Structure formats: C-alpha cells, structure tokens
Chains A and B, each alone.
Chain A
Amino acid sequence: MLFGETTTTGPTFFALAPLVLLFPLLGLLINLIWGGRLPEKAIGGIASGAVGLTFGVAILQMLSLFSHPEGTVIPLVDWITIGELNISWGIQVDTLSVTMMLVVSGVGCLIHIYAIAYMHDDVRLNGDPARYRRFFVFFNLFILAMMTLVSADNYLMLFVGWEGVGLCSYLLIGFWYDKGKDGIGNALAGNKAFITNRIGDFGFLLAAFTMFGLFGSFDFDQVFGQVEQVAELLPTGILLITIFMLIGVTGKSAQLPLYVWLPDAMAGPTPVSALIHAATMVTAGVYLITRSHPLYAVVPQAQSLVAWVGTLTALFAATIAIAQFDIKKVLAYSTISQLGFMVAAVGMGAYVPGMFHLVTHAFFKALLFLSSGSVIQGVERGLHEVEHHHKGKHSAGHHLDPQDMRNMGGLRERMPTTFWVYLIGALALAGIMPLAGFWSKDEILLKASYKDVRLYTLLSIAAFFTAFYMARQIILVFFGKPRSEAAAYASESPKLITIPLIILAVLSVFGGALNLPGIHAFGHWLEHTVHHVPGVKGGVELPEFSLQVAAISTGIALLAIILGWLIYARWGETLQKEKKPYVDPLELTAKPIFSVLTNKYWVDELYWALLVNPYKAFSRWLAEQVDWRFWHDWLHDAVLVNGFKRLTVLLAQPIDLGIIDGIANGLATLIQGGAAYLRRFQTGYVRNYALAVFFGVVAIMSYLIFVLR
C-alpha cells in the first residue's frame, strides 16, 4: 500500500471517513421511512443536517491532512473477486478527494438549506406538496452518490458514483415529470440527460476495460504505480484509455459534443441546477482527469485533445449564452463554458488552476443559480399578486414566463439583497479583481499564454463573452423599468433563502484567497496528491502571477461590461420606449447572427436529424418489417409451415400414403385450426391430452432407442 504507513504526529480522523457516505444514507433513509409523517421543516432539516454532518466529517479529514498530507485509504469491503479481477472498495482520503468532499458537502449543505424554503414554495406553485419529501430524498441520494464518486479509491467505484449522480440528475430533472412542454418536456429532458450520459459512460467503460487489460487493476495506486512501465511497452494503450475517458468527461461535464443535455437539464428545480448542474456533478469530469493525471502526463496527444475540447467548448457555449432569454439557460451555457475553462486547464496540465477554478466556480455559480431561483420566485410572487389583487385588469399574466428575462427589469429595487448577491456572482464570473473568479480564471489564462497562443486567444475571447453576457443579464433583470406587471410586483425572498446567498456571496468574494499568487496555499495543498510522478513529466506547477496577463484579462472583462452597458442599458432603454414587446438590441442590428445563437447553432436539430430520428426509424423498421413481417410472419408461416406441408405432401406420394399423409394433415390442422383445438380444450380433455403428449414423447424416444440399437 502506497499510503498505508505514516509517521503519526498527533491524532487523525481518517477512520471517520466512511461517515461521508453514512450520513447522507441515513438522511435519505430517515426521510424515506418516516418522512411521510414529518412536517416540511423537519424533512428539510434532517436532509440538511445530514449534509452538514458530512461537511463536518470532511473538515475533520482536512484537519487530519494538515498533519498527514500523504493521506490514506480506508478499506471497506471486497466488491467483486473473480480470478485476477479484484475490485475492493475503499475510501481515498487525500488532498484531492477531500477538496471535492468539502466543496460537495459545503456548497451542498448551503443549497439544502436554501431548498427548505425554495421547495416549500415550489411544491405549492406546482400543485403537489407531497413531493417535498421526495425532493430531499433524491437530494440526499445525490450527495451519497457524489461522495461515492469522489471518495472512491478505484475507477470502478468511481464509476458507481459516476452513474449514481447521473441517476439523481435524471430523477431531479424530471422532478416535475408531469410539467414542461406538452406536460412531458421535463421527463424527456431527464431521458436526454441520462441517455447522453450513457454515451459518455460507454467511453468510460471502454477506458475501464483497456485499463484492466493493461494494468490488471482498477485501483488508483496500482494503476498509477505501473504507468511508467506500461508507458514504455504500450503507449498506445494509455492513449486509448485517456481518450475513452475523455468521452466520459464530455458526457458528464457537458463538453463538446455531448453538452446538449445540460441546457435541457434546467427543467429541474433551481436548487438542482445549482447543486448538480453547476457546482458539483458536472465538475466530476474535471476531477476525473485530475485524478488520472499520471495517465495523461505520459500521453501529450491526449492532453492537447483535452485542452482543445475544453477551449472550444468554453468559446462555443459562451457565444450561445449571449442570445438566450431564459435566465437559467444563460447560466446553463455559462456553466458549460466555464467547465470548458476547467477542462482546458487540466488538459494543459494546469491541474491546480483547473481545480481552483472548480472550487471558485462552485461558489459563484451556485450563488448565481440560487439567486436566479430567488428572482424567479420573486417574479412568481409578483404574478400571484397581480392575479389575485388586480383581477380582470390583466389577463396576459397567465401566459407570462417567470424565467424569461424579457419579462423582468428593474428588480434591483424590489429585490435588493438578491440584486447585490447576484451582482457579486456576476462580477466573480466575469473575472473582475479581486473576486474569486478573477484569480482562478487568470491562472488558467496564464498557463494558456505560454502553452499555446491559440488556446490563450480563444479562451480570452470566451472570457470577453462571459463578461458581456453577464452584464447583459444583470441589466435585463435588475436595471431599467419593469417590463411586466409581475416584475413590478415582485418581492424579496425570505431569510432562509437570502442567508445561504449571502454566505455564498462572501465565498465568491474571498474565495480567491485560497490560492493567491505567491502564497499558493491551494497549490501546496494539492501537490501532495497531484505530484510529479517520478520520471514522468508534467505534474503540479504553481503558476506565477503575470501582470500582463492579468491586465489584459481585466481589460477584456471591463471592456465587455462597458459594451454591455452601452448596448443594453443605454440603447436598450431607448428601444424599450418605442416597442412594447422587448427586443434584444443585438437582434435588431445583427439578426442573422443573433438567430444562429438564439437557436444554439441548431445543434439539437442536427443531432435529432442525424442520430435520434434515424435510430427511431431504423429500430421501427427493424421491429416491424424485419423482425415481425419478415422473420416472424413470412418466414414462419410461408417458409416453415407451408414448407413443411409441401414436404410432407411430397413425401406422402411415394412413401406410405396412409401414415405420413395423416401426420402431415394432422400437423397442418394442428397449426391452422387453433380455434378447433380451443373448443376441445374447453371441454375438459386437458389431462388426457397432456397424457397423450407425454406418452407421445416417450414413445418417440423409445422408438429411436430401439431402432438405433
């Protein structure tokens, strides 16, 4: 065991690590079994408490790692043992896994608390309060699965968590399974997420098979320990593993070309979008590549492929975000884009910046999503207000989409707390100094600047669009005048919602302190795990600060914000006075480009035309024509039955007419005359018939025996 023995100085809490799985499991079981009789606050409290305790355990692990940074593996059980295949399950405690545990349980706990209040309203707005409990059961299940993913000490257990979080994602996207477009939209979005992820998981499986073939193990320790030898013998093998793994990453972390499920996943309630589809689950791919860095380190081709996939995704998704009107869709494409930044970073070997951005992004993107939830519910409250107190005045309110930014505006005054935290989140995302996003994004850009100028340029353009779409969103939502009655009557959210927002806002402001240039606390923390493998190039680099890169990126962000301000605040305001239904200023000036972006480059339509519809048509053709009409009906009726009849008739002529002809006719009637037989069965001859068949079988057999004798 690599990490087994340690020189103990002071107590460690490593033995408590399994509790990170136990607490969420207990939480979900308690709510599953007794939740039906508990009030909402208790259900939410139990679920949040379970995650809070998990966070406590993660903190203890962190403290232990301060004194024992090499970490340990806590073995749990043997899972599968067949021949040389030996998959046991242990908990990996090291600085990398504990980082993920802290993020998942910490941010997770805040989102759970937020959801206590948010889901209270959500279940009532959607007319089914009974689903409150189900939500928290699924939410705790997610924490359990995510903890399994990040705490696994081998690839297969990681995969258990990997698909487990996918299941929770599916369940929670389709949480309102009877809502959405035509009442089925949400359920279909869930299917899309699961199936797209399955395509990615197919890659993961192939990676696992190749890995077992080359290394004979799935254990991190075993695999990484042999990388050197295997890399000399079979570098192609490792290249295959890393590329197959990348397919898995593009599924789970929503990268090109498998990102398409994430925007649809916004069908889930907003806390789900924040926790699963922004802060934690979707970053699993980044974690996977970081975890597998010894493999990637020996295959530069795979690394550069990863970097390019990430970079192109970052840019591609950022452009789409510009032209979305749904407040959550903007954030969804933004998430895809930011995940692209992280993937690009780990592809360039910048593991610390990648993980750093993962952490800060978890703070500010969770903040943005939760705030958007606050906005949506604020508008919904406004809508409610309008409908109940101003009856008859406006009937248009019924069709109003509370997530459409065109129906918002001026919320700054109605929802001041939400506005300020949203602003902080947006500035952090845009990369404005000294907020968290600035530091982490800057490290990525810095790495790109001396790795490959093309990557650097593309990522910088993506950063420009990032600042631009966030400026657009802030202005459309919070500034100007309310563009609908609902927005005019919107109201601030309760404390249970705003307090987690404020905590996340504080984290988004100061999160950058984790890895300030020169100090690199986070870098030194991670380098215990993400270290230079002896004799293998690449590993942790602690990037220095470059004033030039920082100045350029800040300049880019500021420029984008000013441009956004000019277009949406100044020009948009004047446009708004003339036209009643809101029109995006860019739509007026650059309609063709804007509509390409609004329609997301028609990628969904393309996939539909190239994959979904052909598969549907093909399987239908296979089922109806090939399998049924040809193979089942034609072959059976025309070939087998008629063929047999003809054969028997043919044979009947020269051979004994009496016997064989009789059998042939008998068989023919047997098959054709089902109805006749039916009548006979209903007259009670079953036993006789059974006996007849049985004796028939015995008779044939005895005949054969004696003939052959």
Chain B
Amino acid sequence: MDWLLHPLTLVTFLPLVGVLILLFLREEQKEIIRWVALGTSLATFIVSLVVLAQFQPSNPELQLVIRRVWIQVAGWDIAYHLGVDGLSILLVLLTTFLTPISILSTWTAIEERVKEFMIFFLLLEVGMVGVFLALDLFLFYIFWEFTLVPMYFLIGIWGGPRRMYAAIKFFLYTMAGSILMLLAILWLGIRGGTFSLPELIAQNNIPADVQIWLFLAFAAAFAIKVPMWPLHSWLPDAHVEAPTAGSVILAGVLLKMGTYGFLRFNLALFPQAAVQLAPIMAVLAVIGILYGAAVSFPQQDVKKLVAYSSVSHLGFVMLGLFALNPQGIQGSILQMVNHGISTGALFLIVGMIYERRHTRDMDAFGGLWKVMPVYGALTLIVALSSMGLPGLNGFVGEFTILLGAWEAGQSDGSLRSYLYAGFAAIGVILAAIYMLTMFQKLFLGPLDKEENRQLKDLNWREIVTLVPLVILIFWIGLYPKPFFSLMAPAVDKLVGNLALSVAALP
C-alpha cells in the first residue's frame, strides 16, 4: 500500500477526501462546506509543497516515480504511473495554488447548491493534477477527459444566462479533439507494446512521416484546449458564462493542459515532426497573439476582453515552445505560470466588480479608483503584469520567449524566425492598448454613474485572494531565478533530444 501514501498519490487524490467529507454534510451547512473545501485544497497545496521539497531541481529526469499495473489487456499493461519533473512541477504547484484561491473567491458569490459546487471543484482539482503527473498515456487520457465533467457542470449549473450553450460547446469541442488523440494513443500503445510515456520516448523508432500524423492527432486535442487560433471560439463562451472561480481555473490551469500536452507529448514523442511542423505552429501562434490582442480591444464585456487576451497570451506560450530552444521553452513554461497568475487574478477582479454591480459592461463603470482605491491599485498591478511591464512577471516570460524565437532564427539561418519574433513583439504594443483601455474605462475618468458612488472597496477576504497572486507577480518579475532553475535541467534534456532528432532528419 505504499503507493497510497506516495506524495504524488496524495497530491492528486487528497481532494477526494474532502469530497468524501462533503458527502456527509447537509446542503444547509454552507459555512462548514466552504471551510472543508478550502481546508482540503489548502492541505493539497501543502502536500504539493512537500513534493517540491522532495524534488531535486538539478535532476533532469522524472522523479518520485510510482508505477503499479492497473489494467492488463491482452498483454499490454495500463499502469498507474505518476512522476514529476521540471516540465510539470510548476504546473502542479500552480494548480494546487490557484484552487484554494478560487474556492475563497466563491465565499459569497456561490450561494446555491454550495455542496455540489465544492464537490465538482475538488474533483476538478484531482483531474488537473492527474493530467500533469500522469506518465501512462491511457491514465493521462482518463484524467484529461475527466476534467471535462466537473467543468461542464460548473459552467452549466452556476454559469450565466447562456450557460447550457457554453457548457455543451465547451464539452463537445474539447471532446472532439480528444478523440483523435485517443486513437493516436491506442496506435502508440499497440505498436510499442506499452502505454508508458518514458518507455515510448526511449523506443524512439517512429518513422518521421508517421510522426507527422501522430503529432497532428495529439495536436488536435491540445490545440483546441490551448486554444490556438483558429480553434478558440469555444473560449469566450465558456469564460463569459462560467462562474468566477470556474473562469479562474479554466484560464489558470485548464488551458495550460493544452500547452503542457504539446510540451510533454508532442515535443518528446514526435521530435522530428515537431521540428518539421514548428514553422506552422509558430505562424499560428503569432496570428493568435495579434488576433487575440486586436479582438480584445473593442470588447464591451470585461470578461470577454480578458478571455480574448488569453488567446494572445497563449500564443506567446506556443511561440516559445516551438522555438525549440531553452530560452523559448523555459520562457513558455514560466509564461504558463504567469498567465495562470495574471489572468487568474484578472478573472477574480472581474468577479469582484460583478458581484457588486451585476454587470460587466465597461460602459457601466468609470472613475472607480476614487471609491475603490485598493481595488484600483491591485487591478493596475495585475493589468501591468498582464501587459508585460518589466519588473513584473509577464515581462520575464514574454521576453525570454521572444528572445528564444529570435534565437531560433539565429540557429536555422532563415529570416522566418526573426519575422515571428518581430510580429509577436507587436503584440506587446497591442497588449498595452487593450489593457490600458480596460483600466481607463473601469477606473479612470469621472465617477459619473450614480450606482457606482456607493461601491465598497475590497473586503479582507477579497484582498486575501488577490495578495498571494500579487506577491508572485513581483517575485517572478524581480527574481525569477528559482522558477527557472526548477525547470532548466529537464528543458535542456528535452532540447538535447530534439537536437539529436534534427540531426537524424534526412
């Protein structure tokens, strides 16, 4: 039974203990339910810190690996196979960190069916952590699909007026992509005789032309999740309709499952295809950066603006990944974390004003800084982080990504990569335009709407939800070294493998 008390098992399934407790509580015991959920998620966060403490940053390999045969089908083992390395550790921490914050944000926002809400939320955490830790392709797929279910209900039950439309669309779009991935997983497992990711990587014998097809099959699932342009049309619906906490997790973690998938599977399993398809991915990424930024700008609904800004930010992540060099990939991983923090905070911020005014139309606001100075100041910091102000986290990620993309041009000697980096850098200008416009429409100008005059500034609970994020914004911005050193060896190893595969290309 050692697997049961293994730190990775605990960090993945501890939320189930909370679910179990919640099942015994009555719906009316709202306060207790909230505290149990918060306590569970905090305990999970602490366990994830234990994982961090046991993690050796200098080791590029998978660590804390646990592998037990789970299902045996016709000679193939489907295993309970978990492990963590530099590519995933930060995303696990991001998940366990954002979950309690999200739960805290629902304290007064969710009054209906609190028990079910918290159960779904904790189940969601199980799925997300599992996705980042699973090393068995089949297990990964189960976790991957499993996250859809609680999210579907979070949107469908506690969402806005068009919640059913959004929830179904979210479900079907992501499901559609996943099916192709499932087929590829089955193909890989049957051909390789194992579903174990490290073993499949070690086999390294997939012909280059087949790699392309498998790459595309996996990419179908991941690209929809990210979402890469032009597969993003489910995102504004899901975000606009989702309750605040759902949006935070959706943007903060679920989208990262897509980018993580590219990193963990596409780059590692299909290196030759990755190199060959990198230009296409980069072009889509750059289009996403510019398109997302341009479409954000005229939005009236703050939430929709933030949703489209995700398309732009995730474009940066994809660009960095497919620069296929250490700067680009490390920048991407950090930018996944950054986006989780900044965009997560932005959704929390939108939620706070929505709770007060029950509208997200920017024309309904103006001059809020006067009545809500703390709220205004925190929003400004988050907005600046999101638009990549040096000294805050966003810049470190974006800069290293752009530098990586530029460097890619240096190494392949073509003008292409310079153009990607150059055009992507225009996104930095456009980000300032939509973010400053948003801040101005909400907080600056005269306080001329009667309804806004009596608004109360943030209460302590709200400040507590935002401050940890703001601390990280400064920390990563000013001293990102600890974060980079967690991922550096693993990324170097990945890049080394990629380089070998390029050499093997005809």
> Using a CB–CB distance below 8 Å, which chain A residues touch chain B?
77-83, 85, 128, 156, 159-160, 162-164, 167, 170, 174, 177-178, 183-184, 187-188, 190-191, 194-195, 198-199, 201-202, 205-206, 208-210, 212-213, 615-616, 618-620, 622-624, 627, 631-632, 635-636, 670-671, 674-675, 677-678, 681, 686-687, 690, 693-694, 697, 701, 704-705, 708-709
**B165 → chain A closest CB, angstroms:** 5
Beyond the given pairs A82-B331, A83-B492, A615-B294, 16 more chain A to chain B contacts, judged by CB atoms under 8 angstroms and listed by A's residue number, are A80-B400, A83-B326, A163-B390, A164-B390, A178-B447, A184-B366, A184-B445, A191-B436, A213-B407, A619-B294, A619-B295, A627-B295, A690-B153, A694-B146, A697-B145, A704-B186
Segment 314-365 of B: residues with Cβ below 8 Å from A: 325-327, 330-331
B297 touches A (CB below 8 Å): yes
Write out the residue numbers on chain A whose beta carbons fall within 8 Å of the beta carbon of B433.
Answer: 195, 615
Tell me if B233 is interfacial: C-beta within 8 Å of chain A: yes
B446 at interface (Cβ–Cβ under 8 A)?
Answer: yes
In the complex, the answer to whether A82 meets B484 with C-beta atoms within 8 Å is yes
Contact between B402 and A205 (Cβ–Cβ < 8 Å)?
yes
In the complex, the answer to whether B445 meets A83 with C-beta atoms within 8 Å is no
* A675 neighbours in B (Cβ, 8 Å): 164
Q: Are B186 and A705 in contact (CB under 8 A)?
A: yes
Q: In whole angstroms, how far apart are the Cα atoms of A527 and B154 in the complex?
A: 67
A623–B233 CB distance below 8 A: no
Residue-wise interface mask of B (13-36) relative to A, using a CB-CB cutoff of 8 A (1 in contact, 0 not): 000000000000000000000000
Residues of A within 8 A of B297 (CB): 615-616, 619, 623
Instruction: Determine the distance from Cα of A635 to Cα of B168 in the docked complex, in whole angstroms.
Output: 16
Residues in A whose Cβ lies below 8 Å from that of B432 = 194-195, 198
Bound complex: CA A159 to CA B395 (Å): 11
- Chain B interface residues (CB < 8 Å from chain A): 73-74, 116, 141-142, 145-146, 149-150, 152-153, 156-157, 162, 164-165, 168-169, 182-183, 186, 190, 230, 233, 236-237, 291, 294-295, 297-299, 308, 325-327, 330-331, 366-367, 369-370, 384, 389-391, 395-396, 399-400, 402-403, 406-407, 409-410, 421-422, 425-426, 428-429, 432-433, 436-437, 440, 443-448, 479-481, 484-485, 488, 492
| Minimum distance in angstroms from B426 CB to a CB of chain A | 7
Q: Are B384 and A167 in contact (CB under 8 A)?
A: yes
Q: What's the minimum C-beta distance from B494 to chain A, rounded to whole angstroms?
A: 13
Given A177-B445, A619-B294, A681-B157, check contact A78 B400 (CB 8 Å): no
Q: Which of B74, B366, B481 contacts A79 (CB 8 A)?
A: B481
Task: Find chain B residues with CB under 8 A from A616 CB.
Answer: 297-298
Give bound CA distance, A701 to B429, whole Å.
Answer: 46
- Which residues of the other chain, B, contact A156 by a CB distance below 8 angstroms? 390, 399
**Chain B residues within 8 Å of A690, by CB:** 149-150, 153
Q: Jot down 18 A-B pairs with beta carbons below 8 A, ordered by A.
A: A80-B481, A82-B400, A82-B484, A85-B400, A85-B403, A162-B390, A164-B389, A174-B444, A177-B367, A177-B445, A183-B445, A184-B366, A632-B236, A632-B237, A635-B233, A636-B233, A690-B153, A704-B182
Query: Which residue of chain A is the closest to B178 with respect to CB atoms?
Result: A697
Which chain A positions have C-beta within 8 A of B294? Answer: 615, 618-619, 622-623
CB proximity of A45 to chain B, nearest CB, Å: 23
Q: List chain A residues, Cβ under 8 A from B399.
A: 156, 205
Cβ contacts under 8 Å, A170 to chain B: 436
Shortest B463–chain A CB gap in Å is 15
- Per a CB cutoff under 8 Å, which of A78, A622, A674 touches B295? A622
Contact of A187 among B142, B396, B444, B485 (CB under 8 A): B444
Q: Is the CB of A632 within 8 A of B425?
A: no
Residues A160 and B367 in contact in the complex (CB < 8 Å), given A195-B436, A202-B426: no
Which of B156, B327, B422, B428 has a CB less than 8 Å from the CB of A198? B428
The answer to whether A623 touches B295, judged by C-beta atoms less than 8 angstroms apart, is: yes
Which residues of the partner chain B approach A205 to less than 8 Å between Cβ atoms?
Answer: 399, 402, 425, 428
B425 touches A678 (CB 8 A): no
CA distance A690 to B410 in the complex (A): 51
Q: What is the CA–CA distance of A80 and B436 in the complex, to the nearest angstrom?
A: 27
Could you say which residues of chain B place their CB within 8 Å of the CB of A77? 479, 481
Kindly identify which residue among B152, B169, B299, B330 contacts A636, using a CB–CB cutoff of 8 Å.
Answer: B169
CB distance from A611 to the nearest CB of B (A): 11
A631 to B437, CA, bound (A): 25
Select one of A162, A187, A620, A627 contacting B445, CB under 8 A.
A187
Residues of B within 8 A of A618 (CB): 294
Chain B residues near A188: list those with CB within 8 A: 440
In the complex, what's the smallest C-beta–C-beta distance from A108 to chain B, in angstroms? 20
A213 to B480, CA, bound (A): 22
Contacts A191-B436, A618-B294 given: A681-B425 contact, CB under 8 Å? no
- Tell me which residues across on chain B come within 8 A of A206, comparing CB atoms: 422, 425
Q: Which one of B149, B237, B330, B384 lies within 8 Å of A694 (CB-CB)?
A: B149
Given contacts A212-B406, A213-B410, contact A78 B153 (CB under 8 A): no
Complex Cα gap A85–B491 (Å): 14
| A184 CA to B153 CA, complexed, in Å | 42
B229, chain A: closest CB distance, angstroms: 10
Alpha-carbon distance between A205 and B481 when the two chains are bound, in angstroms: 21
Pairwise interchain contact A178-B446, C-beta atoms closer than 8 A: yes
Contacts of A677 in B (CB 8 A): 164
What residues on B are CB-neighbors of A163 within 8 Å?
A: 389-391, 395
Contacts of B168 in A (CB 8 A): 670-671, 674
Nearest A residue to B78 via CB reads A705
A82 near B330 (CB under 8 angstroms)?
A: yes
In the bound assembly, the distance between CA atoms of A213 and B153 in angstroms comes to 49
Residue in B164, B182, B395, B421 whose Cβ sees the most chain A Cβ within 10 Å: B164
Chain B residues lying within 8 Å of A81, measured Cβ to Cβ, are 481, 484-485
- CA gap between A642 and B127 in the complex, in Å: 32
Given the interface pairs A178-B446, A183-B446, A620-B298, the reply to whether A678 lies near B164 with Cβ below 8 Å is: yes
Residues of B within 8 A of A212 (CB): 403, 406-407
What chain B residues lie within 8 Å of A709 (beta carbons)?
73-74
Instruction: For residue A180, give the distance in angstroms from its CB to the closest CB of chain B.
Output: 9
With the chains together, A77 CA to B440 CA distance in Å? Answer: 35
- Is there an interface contact between A85 and B327, defined as CB atoms closer than 8 Å? yes
- Minimum CB–CB distance from A562 to chain B (whole Å) comes to 47
CB distance from B471 to the nearest CB of A (A): 15
Closest chain A residue to B294 by CB distance?
Answer: A619
In the complex, A131 Cα to B67 Cα: how many Å?
61
B150 — which chain A residues lie within 8 A by C-beta?
690
Q: Report the minimum CB–CB distance from B372 to chain A (whole Å).
A: 13
Contact status B369-A177, CB under 8 Å: yes
Q: Which residue of A lies closest to B165 (CB)?
A: A674
A160 to B440, CA, bound (A): 23
Contacts of B153 in A (CB 8 A): 686, 690
Cβ-defined contact, B448 with A183, below 8 A: yes
CB distance from B384 to the nearest CB of A (A): 7
Q: How far is the CB of A302 from chain B (nearest CB, A)?
A: 19
Q: Are B445 and A82 in contact (CB under 8 A)?
A: no
Minimal beta-carbon separation of A618 from chain B (angstroms):
7
Q: Does the CB pair A686–B157 fall under 8 Å? A: yes
Nearest CB in chain B: distance from A164 CB, A: 6
Q: Which residues of B contact A162 (CB under 8 A)?
A: 390
Q: Which residues of chain A are within 8 angstroms of B426 by Cβ–Cβ distance?
A: 202
Q: 8 closest pairs, A vs B, by CB?
A: A183-B446, A187-B444, A674-B164, A177-B444, A83-B326, A160-B390, A209-B406, A184-B445
Q: Which residues of B contact A701 (CB under 8 A)?
A: 141-142, 182
B436 and A194 form a contact (CB under 8 A): yes
Complex Cα distance, B436 from A635, in Å, reads 32
- In the assembled complex, the Cα of A618 lies from the Cα of B437 at a distance in Å of 16
Q: Which of A164, A194, A616 has the most CB of B within 10 A?
A: A194
List A contacts of B395 (CB < 8 A): 163
Contact (Cβ within 8 A) A202 B389: no
Q: Evaluate contact between B437 and A191: CB separation under 8 angstroms.
A: yes
Docked CA distance A616–B299 (Å):
11
- Chain B residues closer than 8 Å to A191, beta-carbon distance: 436-437, 440
Residues of chain A with a CB closer than 8 A to B182's CB: 701, 704
B183 CB contacts on chain A under 8 angstroms: 704
